[in-house]
Amino acid sequence: MEIFSFIISMFVMMVASQYGLYWLMIIVAGVAAFMSKEKKVLIIFVIYIAILYFIKGTSYESYGIYVAAVIIVVYLILNKGDSGGEEEALGGMGDQYGDLLKGLGGGGGGM
């Protein structure tokens, strides 16, 4: 699952928890887990729903955004081993930037 989809899902779930729509949170978590086909995403969302449920109505309710930030960091750490390296993180643009820098350096060719 892409990080952007994960963050959007977290945001929708956070807004749904503010209105008490826990059924919507469960649906979003299920769809996100189905899209990613990874157990860790479902486990992360279940933990997130439980935390938001238990802090609802307490003085810690405003900490929901911080809980979301911590969960996003946990997701990034868990996916660190799955990434394809720097080139994958750049969207396959690693060689193009390297060639551009070599060309601007004037070492091999150019004018």
Contact assessment for residue 26 and residue 46, using Cβ atoms and an 8 Å cutoff:
no
pLDDT reading at 100 higher than 80: no
Three-class secondary structure of residue 51 per DSSP? helix
User: What's the confidence (pLDDT) of residue 24?
Assistant: 92
Residue 105 has what pLDDT? 64
Statement: residue 96 has pLDDT above 80? no
Burial string for 9-26 (b: 16+ CB within 10 Å, else e) reads bbebbbebbeeeeeeebe
| pLDDT of the residue at 111 | 52
Q: What is the Cα–Cα distance from 32 to 42, expressed in whole angstroms?
A: 8
For 13-67, write each residue's pLDDT tens digit: 888 888 888 899 899 988 988 888 888 888 888 998 888 888 888 888 888 888 8
pTM given for the model:
0.63
Q: Please give the single-letter amino acid code of residue 95.
A: D
- Output the CA–CA distances (angstroms, integers) from residue 42 to 61, 83, 89, 93, 95, in the order listed: 23, 19, 24, 31, 35
